[in-house]
Structure 1
Amino acid sequence: MSKIILIKNAHVFAPRDFGICDVLVAGDKIARIDHGLDLPADIGDTVDADGAWLLPGLVDSLAHISGGGGEGGFASRTPELDSREAIASAVTTLVGVLGTDATTRTLNELYGKARALDAQGLSCYMHSGSYQFPVNTLTGSVRTDIMLVDNIIGVGELAISDHRSSQPSIHELVRVASDARVAGLLSGKSGVVSIHVGACKGRLQPLFDAVAASDIPISQFYPTHINRNDALLEHGVAFARAGGYIDFTTSTTPEILATGELRASAALKAALEAGVPAERITFSSDAQGSMTNFCEKGRLQDIEVGSVSSLFGEFKRAVSVENIDFVKALQAVTANPASVLGLRQKGRIAAGMDADLAVVDPQSFVIRHVMARGEWRFFDGGLRYAGAFAGS
């Protein structure tokens, strides 16, 4: 029999504000949202939210789940993501990617880690490829990767405007996007091309040129790190106004901020004030990625590790510090990335959607409980961990 859980008296943000409601979960799905729901005493479990916020589980569209880094030598390779950190941070859905290093970090490793996170209660997808062109694949081509490997939903993060990029031509960008798009259409996936954008002067121009030179819609490209500096943000605003989506990175350091990077929450405020529709903006954590600070000559100055917890942290900051509308801030970490990625069962609270939920205290903004696929994985501040090494 499917497990039945009733969450009562929750202030539901779906992300639209539904007010105080009861939410019924059956198995791994949301079954009903209504008022005055009750369960018989001998059926299921009831949790009284007592007016706390009930939010969709956060969707992290870019995380280096198998580790990344290496720009400072082998000793600077970053560790794999621990699923417990994601769960405790209300992140229930992730997309794993490779970055600079696709030699000692492989798609085979990425696939294995994604499956491990699935087994530990999360929903984990992945992209084919990495920073480099030609694109690394599991099956021999982008098209067959997306069509034949269930959890591969796109390509990325392919790098442009960065000294670590393979400097793909406009023709090469168009070809990758075309293959991903057709594969997505045939398999019912997004086929999105995640684009790492560096600090070089080209900014987003290669994407504008690729769109102008082809029939590929601008929304097929999904550029990230758009909060890297003011000039890139300005280009990102133009990209979004033209119909594209832009992504802001939530992991950062004081040293990187000192070089001109904007916090994701501040970039969200600036983009909204510049007229970008809220639906076209997302946040991602870049978890376990190397947060590098290079000097003007391309030499590495310092390096830190991205954190999955920064996704909730910047959502909180957007609301409490930048005074951004709650629903618009929540969209950036739930419904918007789910839409870009084609994850139709994620990012919203509605009947039939996956039961990925977070209960958050409205006074302290502290995460009380987290449900992933219908199971409480974090409850009353404590982890309910189902991994093979639960005691470690």
Structure 2
Amino acid sequence: MRVIRNAELADGRTRDVRIADDGRIDAVGEDLDGETLVDADGMLLLPGMVDVHVHFRQPGDAHKETWSSGSRSAAAGGVTTVVDQPNTDPPTTTGEAFDAKEDLARNALVDYGINGGVTEEWDPDSLFERPLFALGEVFLADSTGDMGIDTELFETALERAADADVPVTVHAEDADLFDEGARERDDADAWSAYRTAEAEQIAVEDAVAVADGTGAQVHVAHTSTPEGVDAAKDGGATCEVTPHHLFLSRDDLDALGTFGRMNPPLRSEERRAALVERLVDGTIDVVATDHAPHTREEKQASIWDAPSGVPGVETALPLLLAAARDDDTALTFERVRDVTAANPADIFGLPQKGRIEEGRDADLVLVDPDETEPIRGERLHSKCSWTPFEGFEGVFPKTTLVRGNRVYDRLGGAESFLPTAGQNVRR
């Protein structure tokens, strides 16, 4: 057995963590017997991030990202499990499409889940025969592609998901509440003006109202407003926020230009600050990245023609850790641990993930909280090689383990990835 020694856990305790040969945590304690894997010497040891919202672009758009490149980026950012969304080409709406995507996902360095999509042409019978992670990102009223559905189909999907005991992740924006007058503008802020905050709030309220009585477990994706978060919580749903909605606002759009276009869009500085308050006080359940890479050339278009989405799987945990070490914030390492690992594991039924406890998978991330680095797109491992967080400070992993296998390491100075095979967490 191998032991990580003298690691500081998120709650401040210093402990050894012993890893069994099967990749699970054998014990957490003091002065544990075993071969020393790492002497952490007071460095911070966290459970690997469970990122329940990524778009790794395969099949269909491998020029933007692949399971190989995306999972390398994840491992370098301390993410040990990713969940891919269904709006690929073809969309993951049938059992055949699921199988084709899983064949590609076996190239991942980290563990993974695959969501099934809902469209007018979906095949729920064949989908529910597969080891789905969840349904969704289910688009309501508006879509990025051809994934949008009406209320009747949404209710059917909720009922089928409840019968199969599968959660439903919802993208909630009501296109009827978009501001068509904003289309007369061509500045960088026009996209945020167009996709209004009210459109999110009302769509969340409608989604939880439709879900009421179906027995379905609803999780609202990438809530970008405090009103959306509160509507989800009031309706009995869980919710996630993204790093870009926590760290960026409409005030940043002059600098970002079309590289700051995403769905939902960036909000006001006041709403951003209110999201951070809800992150700190425990209202927000999960931080997930909505990692959605596009090439530089694709983003260098007009605000109405550029694709929506930004990369984030490699920078989410480093950004949160840098914020938690800052005395000017109330964010703690324990809270970062909960929203990135423990809570998503609990919400989505992953008893083997999310905590540093005996019997759990040894999905572990070791960082030096005293060492920050500027985020540079050219140093990241996503195929798109840019980031909306250029110049921000991050606390990056020194080593990342998935089920006890070291998949990323730079403890000796030189960066290396160690080949391993990710597994479907539902199998």
TM bracket (short chain): 0.7 to 0.9
Cα contact 2:292–2:312 (8 A) shared by 1: yes
The counterpart of 1:226, out of the listed 188, 213, 223, is 223
CA distance in 2, matches of 1:363, 1:357: 18
The counterpart of 2:205, out of the listed 200, 204, 208, is 208
CA displacement 1:41-82 (0-9 Å, x = unmatched): xxx344210000010011110111244897xxxxx9622141
The counterpart of 1:79, out of the listed 65, 79, 92, is 65
CA distance in 2, matches of 1:369, 1:221: 34
Match of 2:127 in 1: 145
Q: Do structure 1's residue 250 and structure 2's residue 239 form an aligned pair?
A: no
Match of 2:29 in 1: 34
CA displacement 1:337-373 (0-9 Å, x = unmatched): 1122211111111011000001110201331111111
Relative to structure 1, the CA distance from residue 262 to residue 355 in structure 2 (aligned partners, 3 Å threshold; closer, same or farther) is farther
Q: Do structure 1's residue 179 and structure 2's residue 160 form an aligned pair?
A: yes
One-letter amino acid matched to 1:33: V
Can you give the 5+ residue segments of structure 1 that lack an aligned partner in the other structure? Answer: 71-75, 185-190
CA distance in 2, matches of 1:48, 1:305: 36
CA displacement 1:247-277 (0-9 Å, x = unmatched): 112358833658961599x84x624635996
One-letter amino acid matched to 2:19: V
One-letter amino acid matched to 2:346: S
CA distance in 2, matches of 1:261, 1:64: 19
The counterpart of 1:88, out of the listed 51, 65, 76, is 76
CA distance in 2, matches of 1:45, 1:276: 36
Written as runs of structure 1 = structure 2, the 5 A alignment for 1:262-277 is 262=267, 267=272, 270-271=274-275, 273=277
Q: Do structure 1's residue 326 and structure 2's residue 333 form an aligned pair?
A: yes
Cα contact 1:237–1:274 (8 A) shared by 2: no
Cα contact 1:53–1:360 (8 A) shared by 2: yes
Relative to structure 1, the CA distance from residue 332 to residue 161 in structure 2 (aligned partners, 3 Å threshold; closer, same or farther) is farther
Cα contact 2:318–2:396 (8 A) shared by 1: no
Q: Do structure 1's residue 373 and structure 2's residue 403 form an aligned pair?
A: yes
Relative to structure 1, the CA distance from residue 167 to residue 295 in structure 2 (aligned partners, 3 Å threshold; closer, same or farther) is farther
Q: Bigger CA drift: 280-289 or 198-207?
A: 198-207
CA displacement 1:195-250 (0-9 Å, x = unmatched): 22347434253453354354135x722121212xxxx4312222124322111123
Moved over 6 A (4+): 291-296
Q: Under a length normalisation based on structure 1, what TM-score does the superposition of the two structures give?
A: 0.76
How far did 1:289 drift?
Answer: 4.3
How far did 1:302 drift?
Answer: 5.7
How far did 1:281 drift?
Answer: 2.1
Match of 1:168 in 2: 149
Written as runs of structure 1 = structure 2, the 5 A alignment for 1:285-304 is 285-290=289-294, 299-301=304-306
Cα contact 1:279–1:332 (8 A) shared by 2: no
CA distance in 1, matches of 2:312, 2:279: 30
CA distance in 1, matches of 2:281, 2:214: 21
Q: Do structure 1's residue 128 and structure 2's residue 120 form an aligned pair?
A: no
CA distance in 1, matches of 2:57, 2:310: 13
Cα contact 2:2–2:36 (8 A) shared by 1: yes
One-letter amino acid matched to 1:195: V
Written as runs of structure 1 = structure 2, the 5 A alignment for 1:16-27 is 17=11, 19-27=13-21
Can you give the 5+ residue segments of structure 2 that lack an aligned partner in the other structure? Answer: 178-198, 372-394, 422-427
CA displacement 1:133-190 (0-9 Å, x = unmatched): 2263xxx32x5533x323x221111112425465523222121011112112xxxxxx
Measured on the aligned residues, the alpha-carbon RMSD in Å equals 3.6
CA distance in 2, matches of 1:278, 1:331: 9
Q: Do structure 1's residue 308 and structure 2's residue 313 form an aligned pair?
A: yes
Aligned residues: 348
Relative to structure 1, the CA distance from residue 295 to residue 281 in structure 2 (aligned partners, 3 Å threshold; closer, same or farther) is farther
Cα contact 2:59–2:101 (8 A) shared by 1: no
Cα contact 2:27–2:358 (8 A) shared by 1: yes
How far did 1:317 drift?
Answer: 4.5
One-letter amino acid matched to 1:87: A
User: SS of 2:134's equivalent?
Assistant: strand
Match of 1:188 in 2: none
User: SS of 2:133's equivalent?
Assistant: strand
How far did 1:100 drift?
Answer: 6.6
